[in-house]
Chains A and B, each alone.
Chain A
Amino acid sequence: MANNQQELQEKTENGLTSAQPNKLYVPDVDVFETDENIVILAAMPGVSENSVDVTLDKNILRIDGSVEASHFDGYSPAYVEYEAGHYRRSFTLSDRIDRDKIEASVHNGMLSLTLAKTDLPQARKIEIQAV
């Protein structure tokens, strides 16, 4: 245990954390419900349609966006408020979401996910067979 902690500390001091190219951000989202859909709007500035992934694993919907760090030839950073980083956030879907009807689009750094609502699965009565 102590060894592990020491190791971790050494790694941090050696700047190993900076070997990870970028930070990981949790994007801010708005979620709202319409008659047919649930819509998720996620602010992911710097992300284009080619650099965003939406994956559905069982009932976990995950969004991943990657951003390249800016570089301008001949210019050096003078004032930095935000660092380039990747985006990741997961949502747990309820039974009322149709898993086959999820649409995603990216516009001006905003990811829009439209999740179609579906009726709850009907309760089913199981017949008891007499032996």
Chain B
Amino acid sequence: MLARSFYRYNRAQAWPQSVQSRRFAGALATPGMRTAPRFPALNVWTSEDGAIASVRLPGVNTDDLDISIKDDRVTIAGSHSPENGQNEPNYLRRELRYGNFSRTFQLPFSVGADKVEATYENGILKIYLPQAEADKPRKIAVKSA
């Protein structure tokens, strides 16, 4: 059990050096872990053409969301304010987190920033991150002398 949680701890430390194959890293979000879950929670899919990032961000205004890209680094920042319509409501229970957040992750390729698209639906932010054309492998034709 100790070995298992230590393994999780190490995995959490390894991020965000690069996106690697960690299908079962979802265990990071389970209770009993040794590191705090990062907010917002993030999933990344990759293909030959690029990546799709899916971020869990319930109840955020799109105006308060900021996505910035520099080469292979993607940063999602924003703020989340309560929608209670009152300044100081009488709280009986508070479990939701509000305030500013920022998260940066690194992809194994440079992103074509001008072709990035993002959608926000049902509290999930999806960012389409195509690989930059200049970053794609090129085929060199070998000429026979």
Segment at the B interface, from A9-17, A29-37, A53-61, A122-130: A29-37
8 Å CB interface, B3-37 against A: 15, 19-26, 28-29, 37
Q: Mark B71-90, 1 if CB is under 8 A from A, else 0.
A: 00000000000111010011
A80 touching B94 in the complex, CB below 8 Å, given contacts A45-B122, A109-B123: no
The interface size of chain A toward B, counting residues with CB under 8 Å, comes to 34
Among A32, A109, A110, the residue within 8 A (CB) of B124 is A109
A22 to B96, CA, bound (A): 23
Closest Cβ–Cβ distance, residue B79 to chain A (whole Å): 14
Q: Contact size class for B?
A: 35 or more
Residues A77 and B43 in contact, CB atoms below 8 Å apart: yes
Q: Mark A70-108, 1 if CB is under 8 A from B, else 0.
A: 101011111111110000000000000000000000111
Q: Please tell me if A63 contacts chain B, counting CB pairs below 8 Å.
A: no
Residues B29 and A75 in contact, CB atoms below 8 Å apart: no
B: which residues have CB within 8 A of A? 15, 19-26, 28-29, 37-38, 41-49, 51-52, 54, 56-60, 82-84, 86, 89-96, 105, 120, 122-124
A: which residues have CB within 8 A of B? 28-34, 38-39, 41, 43-48, 70, 72, 74-83, 106-110, 112
